[in-house]
Amino acid sequence: MNSTTGRLTVIATPIGNLDDLSPRARAELLAADRILCEDTRRTGRLMAHIGVKKPLLSLHEHNERRRVDQVLEALLAGEHLALVSDAGTPLLSDPGFLVVRAASTAGLPITTVPGPSAALAALVVSGLPPLPYTFVGFPPAKPGKRRRFFERYREFDHTLILFESPHRIVRSLRDAHEVLGDRRIAVARELTKLHEETLRGRISDVVDLLAAKERVKGELVVVVGSAEVGDLEPRNPRSDSDG
Ligand code: SAM
């Protein structure tokens, strides 16, 4: 590697509250030559908010494979590239892995500015055992595949963390109930935002709470306790917003 070799910095950005962008994240965005981002408009708004103007290069699930060579070339030419996603930590159900793997295989320097992660934020407010945990991203959208997906984790003695969309959450939790049993769960909604709330209880209790709503809105993370997590607390479904 020569002295002009660049650097790739993986930077976490807020999952809702813009004040969660760290001073070091801002400094690294300011120091970068270019920023690889999922949605240039969205990152453009973040950059405008912090008063930093930089060339943005899109990197999303449809072009990441094609971008790899271009990114490697830029790094070898000495560029400092920052990698961000629309929200939270890149690579975690977000683009970036192919680029990081390529840079790592090429022996190029990779650094990070850690920060917000919806998965970990939900885990730490869930009230469920934090270790060991397994983060599984989004379950498949189709019911058959989704049930097989949950079956893979039935014997796991881990807390599971998953992402789910608001319009699938009730069906997905019903499948989880059928496959995993009536486990303890927490559903964290709109973390760090104005309408943040966490619903905790058995799957059946939380499904009842969600199904009673006209429409579930916002972004959601589901944390599922292992079969071993029994009655650590009294059996009362609770929401933080109950007051
Ligand atoms: N890479 C991101 C991270 O580290 O948090 C997550 C990106 S993933 C494409 C987006 C999903 O993360 C959403 O559908 C939702 O499940 C979860 N999520 C993101 N922000 C959230 C928030 N503020 N509250 C709850 N869940 C959130």
Q: What is the CATH number of domain 7-113?
A: 3.40.1010.10
Mean of the per-residue pLDDT values of the chain: 94
Angstrom distance (rounded) from CA 100 to CA 191: 27
Fold (CATH) for 118-241: 3.30.950
- Ligand 1 centre and the CA of 121: distance in Å? 10
- Ligand 1 centre and the CA of 186: distance in Å? 15
Span(s) in the chain for CATH 3.40.1010.10:
7-113
Are the C-beta atoms of residues 182 and 202 closer than 8 Å to each other?
Answer: yes
Q: Is the confidence at residue 90, as pLDDT, over 90?
A: yes
Pocket probe mutation, ligand 1, options 221, 222, 224, max atoms within 8 Å of Cβ? 221
Tokens of 39: 């949605």
pLDDT bracket for residue 4 (50, 70, 90): confident
Span(s) in the chain for CATH 3.30.950.10:
118-241
Are the C-beta atoms of residues 100 and 8 closer than 8 Å to each other?
Answer: yes
pLDDT bracket for residue 228 (50, 70, 90): confident
Q: Is the confidence at residue 155, as pLDDT, over 80?
A: yes
Tell me what pLDDT residue 153 has: 96
Tell me what pLDDT residue 241 has: 59
**Which residue minimizes the CA distance to atom 2 of ligand 1?**
88
What pLDDT digit, counting tens, does each position of 200-224 carry? 999 999 999 999 999 999 999 999 9
